[in-house]
Amino acid sequence: MKKITLILGGSRSGKSTYALELAKKHKKVAFIATCQGLDKEMRERIRLHKEARPRHWETFEEPKEPGKLIGKLSNSFDCILIDCLTLLVSNLVLSGNKQEQILKKIKELLSVLDKKKVRIILVSNEVGLGLVPANKLGREFRDIAGRVNQLVANKADEVFFIISGIALKIKACLPAGKEAGKWRG
């Protein structure tokens, strides 16, 4: 049964750990990493994340086009986990994409995911709870990430907000034929 789950939270809130625990309930998992190891510290973080995943999971590294990758995946997976949408947005912003282009790519990703008959888990940072960034690029990134999260949360069947390692369900699956309310912000 297809179900889309979005897991939101701040940095080091436990989002990825919670996502891993959900995905471990499945046998054949495709883990899609959007992170790029551009410096030594980030490469070490990636190494630690890899060690935390079960070895039998298949890992795909796709920093900018996860929708295209997922479209090419076989139907042998019963779970697809994407970690994380915030890094995807960052990669796209730093590649020169504007908000409209990024939102279009996210809509395309959601369209591809909607066609899959598997459990889908998406991880993203909630970046709107902190200080207003001091520079234009930081504010643009925050705004785009917030809009991406809204798009994905609206499409998701369930949404969890992770605070200090504790999951708070903020959107539950609805019975067939029901639609969640839509917020435009």
pLDDT of 67-112, one tens digit each? 999 999 988 899 999 999 999 999 999 999 999 999 999 999 999 9
In a domain, 178, yes or no: no
In this prediction, residue 1 carries a pLDDT of 61
pTM tops 0.75, yes or no: yes
Residues recognised as catalytic: 49
- Per-residue pLDDT at 175: 53
Q: Is 34 a member of any domain?
A: yes
Residue 25 maps to a domain: yes
Look at residue 3 and give its three-state secondary structure.
strand
Q: Are 148 and 122 in contact (CB under 8 A)?
A: no
* Residue 6 near residue 122, CB atoms below 8 Å: yes
Structural domain including 7 reads 3-171
CATH number for the domain harbouring residue 68: 3.40.50.300
Tallying the residues shown for the chain, one arrives at 185
Q: Does residue 182 belong to any structural domain of this protein?
A: no
Q: Is residue 63, in this structure, part of any structural domain at all?
A: yes
| In-domain check, residue 128 | yes
What letter does residue 9 receive in the DSSP assignment?
E
Flag whether 29 is in a domain. Answer: yes
Give me the pLDDT at residue 49, please: 83
User: Residue-wise over 103-138: b if at least 16 C-beta within 10 A, else e?
Assistant: bebbeebbebbeebebbbbbbbbbbeeeeeeeeeee
The end-to-end CA distance of the chain, in Å, is 31
**Spans in the chain with pLDDT lower than 50:** 177-178, 180-185
In the chain, how many domains are there? 1
98 Cβ partners below 8 Å, 6+ apart?
Answer: none
Q: Token pair of 45, please?
A: 């973080």
Does 176 reside within a domain? Answer: no
* CB-count burial class (<10 Å; 0-12, 13-18, 19+) for 47: exposed
45 in helix, strand or coil? helix
